């Protein structure tokens, strides 16, 4: 059993997966004296199972140098961890704009380069240098060979394809341009300087005049190739960043759907248990009603359900009082008590009788009687039970209020807000964050928004950001003045999310967040341009067109083809002015 942070990190390093899993809710996102998280340590050790266990809880966190777990894996030569972490963290760049692969290539970490090379070798750092250039500059021949192993074959194939193509055709012209590009690459010799200076990282990316559109630049061919490579790299980084961010919201939507499916199956099970028990005890109940004698019938049916449980769900106060001393506290084979049976049917009189003896019990799924009332959307049961059981959580951190929000149970939800607000599940999500996925919860209840405003989940997403993604206009209207300008861990704002999904009306409502950039230096316009959100780009262009990326690219340089036609006239207009 892990009881403190020292034991937590020791268990992670030792690979004690079961112990770490049990203590995850308590110690996730903790840091050791060196500022490292458990995920970073697991990545260094190339412990893939541990990485998978921790990744959803600690991804995107950085140490004092700005290094993510992926950077630690890359520098430590942990190829399996690199592969596991790359989809989640490659878009994040540490201080000075290096990528995990360029750092590994510069240090000569061959195992990491082989793991990341083919997928990410074309992405440059903030200085426009790729892993290939870093490997060459630092004299790592094996790394260079790993990064370029397939290039000779590609060049040979291009030459063969040129011989097969029709002379004078567009295909032949394209293939010839590829071969000419290879031949015209300047070679760096030890006795001379490079043909061109390497562009330096800009100190500021805001409030600068927009550069000329790519086609109008007067650059040498080699400078133009480097410039276009930076634009393509930024475009890919923007797409990867949004993909990782969108995965957070998609995961939440899938979690809500899974909860609804699981609850439906569980309700069917409970209904079957109730029906079988009612049939089993029908004769015993009739005999008691007729004779009023001490009950001497069978104690339980095949599911372990007792007569007290059936009497409680029928709200038979007299029979419950008769059986209370002998059967109170017993559970059926699914861990359910008489109080849970009563709460599911809104049997308020029996709930009050059973509360002193059966409160705070949980069934085999971790549900309390209050949670059963929430699952069944029983408002009066929820109100009574909340006085005793409020705040109890499932192993995954959900309270009865969070369950009501996930299931869109408005009646139970309204009666639990005052007693269970401000609780968070194991992912850091509050009932308010889940509630934005059910617009009707906001139409009838405005109290939760004032109680839980400003809370964010383990990724830093707020209720407003979730409302923007699921396009809940009612929630957006209530939350925009309270959670404006808050950021996720990767620096994304609500406006950037609206820009990514092309929600133009929400872009207009969140205009106060313009001129903000995320942790990679990208603004909302950059995201809209790279993802082809034409209408969003048009609305953002007048305020954010002057913002450049860390590699000096404007929104036009990284724009999707559909957005280019929108931004080009605006850029030309600014140049004329």
pLDDT, one tens digit per residue, over 332-345 is 999 999 999 999 99
For residue 205, count other CB atoms closer than 10 A to its CB: 19
With beta carbons less than 8 A apart as the criterion, state whether 360 and 392 touch: yes
For the chain, what is the largest distance between any 2 Cα atoms, rounded to a whole number of angstroms?
111
DSSP code per residue over 337-369: -HHHHHHHHT-HHHHHHHHHHHTT---TTS--H
pLDDT, one tens digit per residue, over 170-225 is 888 887 887 776 665 554 443 333 444 433 333 333 333 434 444 334 444 544 44
* Residue for token pair 């990782």: 244
d(CA 37, CA 60): 11
- Domain range 5-184, CATH class: mainly alpha
- pTM beyond 0.75: the answer is no
Torsion of CA 7, 12, 14, 17, to 10 degrees: 110
* Residue for token pair 């090379």: 117
Domains 5-184 and 491-576 alike in fold: yes
d(CA 248, CA 433): 12
* Upper half-sphere CA count for residue 294 (Cβ side, 13 Å): 3
> Chain centroid to CA 137: how far?
37
When the candidates are 1.10.10.10, 3.40.50.2000, 3.40.50.620, 1.25.40.20, the CATH number that belongs to 491-576 is 1.25.40.20
With beta carbons less than 8 A apart as the criterion, state whether 219 and 73 touch: no
Which own/partner contact pairs does 507-511 have at CB distance under 8 Å and 24+ positions apart? 507/536, 507/539, 507/540, 508/539, 509/476, 509/480, 510/468, 510/480, 510/484, 511/543
Q: Three-state SS across 200-219?
A: CCCCCCCCCCCCCCHHHCCC
Q: Which two tokens stand for residue 331?
A: 């559970």
Q: Report pLDDT for 207.
A: 37
Domains of the chain, residue spans: 5-184, 422-485, 491-576
d(CA 472, CA 440): 10
d(CA 430, CA 21): 22
Q: How confident is the model at residue 168 (pLDDT cuts 50, 70, 90)?
A: confident
Please tell me whether residue 290 adopts helix, strand or coil conformation.
Answer: helix
pLDDT, one tens digit per residue, over 345-389 is 999 999 999 999 999 999 999 999 999 999 999 999 999 999 999
Mean pLDDT (the chain) is 84
* Residue for token pair 């770490």: 20
């Amino acid at each position: 059993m892990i009881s403190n942070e020292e034991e937590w990190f020791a268990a992670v390093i030792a690979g004690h997966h079961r112990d770490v899993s049990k203590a995850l809710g308590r110690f996730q996102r903790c840091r050791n004296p060196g500022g490292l998280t458990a995920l970073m340590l697991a990545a260094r050790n190339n412990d893939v199972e541990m990485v998978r266990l921790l990744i959803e809880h600690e991804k995107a966190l950085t140490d004092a140098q700005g290094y993510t777990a992926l950077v630690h894996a890359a520098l430590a030569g942990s190829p399996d961890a690199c592969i596991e972490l790359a989809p989640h963290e490659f878009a994040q760049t540490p201080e000075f704009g290096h990528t995990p692969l360029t750092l590994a290539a510069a240090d000569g970490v061959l195992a990491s380069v082989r793991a990341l090379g083919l997928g990410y070798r074309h992405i440059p750092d903030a200085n426009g240098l790729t892993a290939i250039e870093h490997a060459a500059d630092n004299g790592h021949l094996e790394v260079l060979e790993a990064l370029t192993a397939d290039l000779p074959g590609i060049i040979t194939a291009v030459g063969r394809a040129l011989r097969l193509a029709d002379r004078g055709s567009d295909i032949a012209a394209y293939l010839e341009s590829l071969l000419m590009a290879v031949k015209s690459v300047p070679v760096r010799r030890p006795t001379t300087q490079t043909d061109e200076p390497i562009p330096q990282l800009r100190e500021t990316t805001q409030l600068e005049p927009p550069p000329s559109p790519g086609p109008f630049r007067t650059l040498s061919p080699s400078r133009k190739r480097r410039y276009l490579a930076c634009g393509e790299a930024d475009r890919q980084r923007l797409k990867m960043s949004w993909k990782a961010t969108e995965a957070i919201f998609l995961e939440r939507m899938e979690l809500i759907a899974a909860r609804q499916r699981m609850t439906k199956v569980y309700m069917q099970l409970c209904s079957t248990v109730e029906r079988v028990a009612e049939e089993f005890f029908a004769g015993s109940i009739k005999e008691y009603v007729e004779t009023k004698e001490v009950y001497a019938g069978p104690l339980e049916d095949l599911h372990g359900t007792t007569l007290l449980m059936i009497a409680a769900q029928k709200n038979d106060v007299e029979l419950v009082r008769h059986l209370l001393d002998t059967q109170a506290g017993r559970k059926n084979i699914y861990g359910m008590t008489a109080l849970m049976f009563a709460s599911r049917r809104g049997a308020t009189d029996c709930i009050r009788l059973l509360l002193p003896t059966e409160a705070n019990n949980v069934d085999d799924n971790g549900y309390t009687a209050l949670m059963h009332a929430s699952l069944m959307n029983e408002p009066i049961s929820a109100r009574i039970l909340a006085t005793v059981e409020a705040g109890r959580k499932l192993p995954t951190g959900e309270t009865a209020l969070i369950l009501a929000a996930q299931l869109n149970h408005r009646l139970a939800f309204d009666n639990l807000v005052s007693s269970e607000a401000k609780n968070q599940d194991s992912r850091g999500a509050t009932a308010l964050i889940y509630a934005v996925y059910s617009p009707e919860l906001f139409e009838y209840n405005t109290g939760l928004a004032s109680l839980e405003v400003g809370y964010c989940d383990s990724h830093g997403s707020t209720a407003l950001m979730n409302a923007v993604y699921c396009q809940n206009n009612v929630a957006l209207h209530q939350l925009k003045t309270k959670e404006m300008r808050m950021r996720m861990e990767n620096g994304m704002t609500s406006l950037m999310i609206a820009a990514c999904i092309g929600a133009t009306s929400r872009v207009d409502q969140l205009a106060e967040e313009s001129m903000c950039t995320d942790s990679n230096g990208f603004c909302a316009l950059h995201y809209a341009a790279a993802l082809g959100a034409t209408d969003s780009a048009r609305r953002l262009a007048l305020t954010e067109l002057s913002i450049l990326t860390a590699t000096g690219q404007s929104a036009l340089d990284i724009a999707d083809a559909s957005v280019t036609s929108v931004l080009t006239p605006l850029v030309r207009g600014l140049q004329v002015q």
